[in-house]
Structure 1
């Protein structure tokens, strides 16, 4: 049986680098569709255009306008293909309007892993979270929150209580949100889903007492390795909120304690949640 997530990512070739897709309402958050899921949708189409280099090593995306549920097209323009990487411009077009413009550099993570050498090292400490059963489950969110954030029905999110005081009206003020995460249907993580993962947590501004939808202006994501099966651990953090903007840095760790994805995005200070 095909997992719901994969059905939502489906892309049909339409010729001349175009792919027909359907933007699902189930990934809505506030007034738009989750940006990380949309990047996964775009990259899934790009993989068809570049089958020998299927992995999105580096993605830089500009969010030009909010996408809505319904038909859309992914438009792929390969700029360079050869050697160990390929680079392409990828756009999500809906109603004749470009919603997202991205540049993606792809390669084969298996080939890069085979180049491992004595110089390989990680200076990052694996993300430590409380046991899953001690964390706050997204399934227990109030009905009004689930209505505002429809994508909560697509996965299992378990928030670290140490950075989730905002759920009870007492934000911690640390600018950090971190959680366990996995897709529904027992669907294991892969490189495409990592682009969803880097944008799936509540904005870090919740922990600063500013709840609501925070529209992304630009997001850059790096996929560093194929994730092992099992839960992912995700941490978002910010150091600067000023002038109506904030940055959000993300780390994604897999069940084998490897840093498998990183991202940074610039976003607008959230719009208020509906009362």
Structure 2
């Protein structure tokens, strides 16, 4: 019997069509607001980059600029090798749809499986209640579920009640959202970490600022291959100015390791 790929793997799948060029089909189920989710796009682009240099399948650092909103349907990922030396390759990639250039990115790729030492950090994991004490999408009021974007049903998130008041109109004002996270049919890996850093609602929701917050730039650093099991995510913003805000994300695995970090600059939410 042939194993059926997980939904995430199907949705981020790319097919080599020429040297350094890959065809993708962006799924409608990954839409949020006025376009396709930035983390999903980063994972799709990242999958193409992972096939570009043999022996270096994993993103170590990747920075993407979102030039225009992507839409469901065919897309082309074009990759270039800028330098391939030692344990790290420096790559570039562009995503286009038709004649429209949607994303441009630079990345460092290597092999995270070669990192056998523990992740050492002075940071602390999110102070999350046990999984069974957190609330999921199914616990939200019907009016919230009816208006939620398709993206929200692509994964399982269990929110800390203390940072989920935005869902019922009572944000805490701290600019902090944290949750347990997993894909329903696969264990986490480096590519899914690229999705995870942009999976939660914008941290501005906890400031009472609701709506689609288009990403302008997103940078992710990956520290290790995550252990199996639930991930813990922490989104926070400290500054909203000039119609934009920054958002920092930490991703912790089931072994209490900080396996990914990101920062993005996004526009303040629009209805």
CA drift of 1:251 comes to: 0.3
Residue 170 of structure 2 aligns to a residue whose secondary structure is coil
Cross-structure match for 2:25: 22
Listed as ranges, the matches of 1:107-186 within 5 Å are: 107-111=110-114, 113-114=115-116, 116=117, 121-141=120-140, 142=142, 145=145, 147-185=147-185
Residue 49 of structure 1 aligns to a residue whose secondary structure is coil
CA drift of 1:19 comes to: 0.3
Root-mean-square deviation over aligned CA pairs:
1.4
Bigger mean CA offset, 7-16 vs 226-235 = 7-16
Cross-structure match for 1:78: 81
Listed as ranges, the matches of 1:58-77 within 5 Å are: 58-77=61-80
CA drift of 1:110 comes to: 2.6
CA drift of 1:95 comes to: 1.4
Cross-structure match for 1:13: 16
CA offsets per residue over residues 205-258 of structure 1, 9 Å max, x none? 000000111001001100101000010000001110111110000000000000
CA drift of 1:152 comes to: 1.2
- Aligned equivalents of 1:144, 1:208: Cα separation in 2: 17
CA drift of 1:21 comes to: 0.5
- Aligned equivalents of 1:164, 1:172: Cα separation in 2: 8
Cross-structure match for 1:223: 222
Residue 261 of structure 2 aligns to a residue whose secondary structure is strand
CA drift of 1:180 comes to: 0.5
Q: Contact (CA 8 Å) 1:8, 1:23: kept in 2 or not? A: yes
Cross-structure match for 2:249: 250
- Aligned equivalents of 2:207, 2:28: Cα separation in 1: 29
TM-score of the superposed pair, with normalisation by structure 1: 0.94
Q: Contact (CA 8 Å) 1:146, 1:152: kept in 2 or not? A: no
Cross-structure match for 2:192: 193
- Aligned equivalents of 2:7, 2:232: Cα separation in 1: 21
- Aligned equivalents of 1:165, 1:159: Cα separation in 2: 10
Residue 174 of structure 1 aligns to a residue whose secondary structure is coil
What are structure 1's unaligned runs of at least 5 residues? none
Residue 167 of structure 1 aligns to a residue whose secondary structure is helix
Cross-structure match for 1:236: 235
- Aligned equivalents of 1:97, 1:78: Cα separation in 2: 22
CA offsets per residue over residues 147-188 of structure 1, 9 Å max, x none? 541011111011111011111111100010000010122x10
Q: Contact (CA 8 Å) 2:203, 2:247: kept in 1 or not? A: yes
- Aligned equivalents of 1:140, 1:67: Cα separation in 2: 30
Aligned length: 267
Cross-structure match for 1:87: 90
Q: Which runs of 4+ in 1 moved over 2 A?
A: 139-148
Cross-structure match for 2:266: 267
Q: Contact (CA 8 Å) 1:30, 1:148: kept in 2 or not? A: no
TM-score of the superposed pair, with normalisation by structure 2: 0.95
Q: Report the CA distance shift for 1:268/1:190 in structure 2 as closer, same or farther (over 3 A).
A: same
36, 45, 49: which one pairs with 2:48?
A: 45
What are structure 2's unaligned runs of at least 5 residues? none
